[in-house]
Amino acid sequence: MENDIEYLKKRREEALKMGGPDKVARQHKEGKLTVRKRVDILFDQGTFQEYGLLATHQSHRAEMADKITPADGVVTGFGKINGRRAGVIAEDFTVRGGSVGITHGMKKMRMVFLATQEKVPLVWLLDGAGARAEEYIAEGLPMVAHQLNIARMSGIAPQVGIVMGPSAGDSSLCASLLEFIIMTKPTGMMAAGGPPVVLSALGQVVSKEELGGWKIHCTESGVADNPAEDDIDAIKMAKRYLSYLPTSAYEYPPYVEPDDDPDRMDEELLHILPENLRQPYDMKRIINCVVDKGSFFEIKPLYAKEMITGFARMNGHVVGIVANQPLVLAGSITARAAQKERHFIDLCNAYHIPLLFLADVPGVMTGPDSEKEGALRYGLAIAYSLAYADVPKITVVIHKAFGMGGCAMCGYGAGQTLTLAWPRVDFGSIPTDGGVLAAYKSELEKAEDPQALRKELEEKFAKYSGPYPAAGAFNVDDVIDPRETRPRVVRAFELALSRRVVPPSPAMRIGVMP
């Protein structure tokens, strides 16, 4: 038996060397941590239990005979992140470029199966080159079923992807299915096929960054959510993201003992809106005044910046924030903003996270370009998500809410626990100035002084579009001093959370479509 134990120890030591000293040195030279260092940082010390350490390839090619691929290029297993159980799938670029062979693929599929069955989060550390040339995967691995199983896990337990290297093929396809995707700035890349494939198929020469770097996917395509400075920053970000979510949809989000006064009335809220309301302001200032200090975690900060989404805490309870950003396109609902909001609402609905809407919206973006992008369809998709969002919702209208834009920002009648308005709010089917031009076109054309008539009409209709007619018709529950926003919202959420049953018994309700 002693000889057996010594042999087992030797095999484990060999597997832990990954691709060997030269490949490890190259990984470090490229500014990347090794896969095992990444896993060490991800999990609480001493909690990681590996599955498949002694796995190796199944290739029958002569050039692979007697060769071992340590862990077959992917480290898998379970541990604890901030005291809560989670799984990991971590590709090892030092072993055959982290490519997917039959055993490698089987390990990934088993982790998805186990994480779904045991209802725990799954973190993907992606640094792989796609299908392995030495193995014909189609004969031994049902990749279609693998993608479907990743999709089926969505909404059961959180799935996070960190793109840490030149991920192509399977790595990028898996990442695109996940609920939250981080990309490291120096080394992260996602593409259906890498630069050599693009050259072969299209005759185009592109760099990794031009093809699928973080700027492409975090700012333009929206496939990825948040960029990170390096591997360590990315893992810290993933851990913070998970801190807002329950372990699975069968639990409620974690409560944290607050160190901020729920009745705090921030004087800054009186000075954020400019005197000239045609001038923009930063909605993030309002968010940071209202939520528990330092708790706001923005999701997709560089994509569709006219819409703000993210997690925060209100008196220790997790909430999802959806807010218009007047600094960008006046906070309009564009096609991209609508897709960003729709996905976030679905995410919060899946994991029982209440929603706070801070509305300052001129409507759905119009114009030829917006119509080509499908803003109408994507904007109405928000209504679909809101209709099925069975979580507490609260709406605060900061300045304006016009037309379908107001509906998309959870306007009155969407089942909110509370709807509030600030004193300088403007409501309407469309903005007053545009409405006058549309409704009185012929009168203005015939008038001796069109500008004077237009001003007169705008002042007339402005009387009907402020907060007090809305309050009089009970279309808002109250008009408030801006400083009252935090206390009123906190109390409303506490009221709404009373619908949670004791002992906790939530259940999975929806998946989260990419």
Q: Where in the chain is CATH 3.90.226.10?
A: 2-243, 267-425+466-499
User: Structure tokens of 381?
Assistant: 């998709």
Determine contact, residues 320/349, Cβ cutoff 8 Å: no
What pLDDT shows up at residue 458?
Answer: 67
Determine contact, residues 59/134, Cβ cutoff 8 Å: yes
Residue 125 to residues 211, 327, 440, 453: CA-CA distances in angstroms? Answer: 20, 35, 60, 63
Task: Identify the DSSP state of 494.
Answer: H
What pLDDT shows up at residue 429?
Answer: 53
What pLDDT shows up at residue 137?
Answer: 58
Low pLDDT (below 70) residues in the chain: 62-63, 136-141, 428-440, 444, 453, 456-465, 503-504
Task: Tell me if the pTM is above 0.85.
Answer: yes
d(CA 301, CA 225): 8
Name the 3-class secondary structure at 391.
coil
What pLDDT shows up at residue 457?
Answer: 66
What pLDDT shows up at residue 413?
Answer: 84
d(CA 150, CA 304): 26
In the β-sheet with 84-91, what is the strand arrangement from edge to edge? 49-51, 74-81, 84-91, 122-126, 159-163, 180-184, 226-228
d(CA 331, CA 307): 6
d(CA 410, CA 414): 6
Name the 3-class secondary structure at 293.
coil
Tell me how crowded residue 279 is: count the other CB atoms within 10 A of its CB: 9
Architecture of domain 267-425+466-499: Alpha-Beta Complex (3.90)
What pLDDT shows up at residue 1?
Answer: 80
d(CA 59, CA 310): 45
Strand partners, 298: 310
Task: Look up the CATH superfamily of 2-243.
Answer: 2-enoyl-CoA Hydratase; Chain A, domain 1 (3.90.226.10)
Tell me how crowded residue 500 is: count the other CB atoms within 10 A of its CB: 12
